[in-house]
Structure 1
């Protein structure tokens, strides 16, 4: 085997190993976030899809969302409701998303990015309406984003939903 072939094989092995450890580094970051969350006043548990979910006696995680925002923690499954304070233009780049801003009961606002390629658009939504949601919280400096408010056709993520005027959107 020529020296050039040996070098090519070695380079391929290095790329595969780097890709493998790159995935592990991402998992380590997620575990670090879990560690930070577990050592706060918010308890966590895991659901079937291995996403963090914050339990709440009243099924409203608004207070927990405030804690996640304060501690800059992402990738947490949450359930809450809020008042529509703004309806934004759809994001049509890549997967299409219907976007609106909800004000939670403690005053924090979150952007809802609802994938309308995978779930129906929320119909007749207006400022002042109440929308319930179950999705994944992602930290942003503006309050956070709620996404994964739809079913996952690949079954790799927890199915989320939105509820508006008695109708579910998933």
Structure 2
């Protein structure tokens, strides 16, 4: 019985190692749940990482700093506007509805689900900044 318990513990530790598919999926679900909680509580200024599906690519916002904009749906069903500053980071190439996108940025609440911005390096170097990843390529 003790040997069986040890085997179960070892297998559990191996399956929870970073980089395993199950681990990534669980991390994505945790991030989506955190974003849903931030939306429900009307919180802003929260750094988040998540993965979702592009549901719509919008025209660039050209007022002030230029931003590439698209809407992502998380596994929870929540939608987010991603506003990626293309004056500070490269444009995400060939982005289309249906693409899976991972991102890190700062979340700001709005009634439509929220906005994620700061998906780029901090030009002043004071904070880590964010990124967008599509098809194995990271944009920051």
TM-score, normalised by the number of residues in structure 2: 0.79
Q: Which has the larger radius of gyration?
A: 1
Aligned to 2:113: 143
Structure 1 partner of 2:79: 109
Number of the residue aligned with 1:89: 59
Match of 1:161 among 108, 126, 131: 131
Give, in angstroms, the shift of residue 155 of structure 1. Answer: 1.6
**1:22-57 residue CA offsets vs partner (Å, 9 max, x unmatched):** xxxxxxxxxxxxxxxxxxxxxxxxxxxxxxxxxx99
Question: Is this contact kept in 2: 1:149–1:162, CA < 8 A?
Answer: yes
Q: Which runs of 5+ in 2 are unaligned?
A: 1-23
Greater than 3 Å deviation, 4+ residue runs: 56-59
User: Is 2:14 aligned against 1:74?
Assistant: no
SS at match of 1:59: helix
Equivalent pairs counted in the alignment come to 115
User: d(CA) in 1 for partners of 2:126 and 2:55?
Assistant: 32
Task: Report the CA distance between 1:153 and its aligned residue.
Answer: 1.1
CA distance in 2, matches of 1:57, 1:88: 27
TM-score by length of 1: 0.65
Q: Deviations over 1:82-136 (max 9, x none)?
A: 1000000000111000000000001000000000000000000000000000011
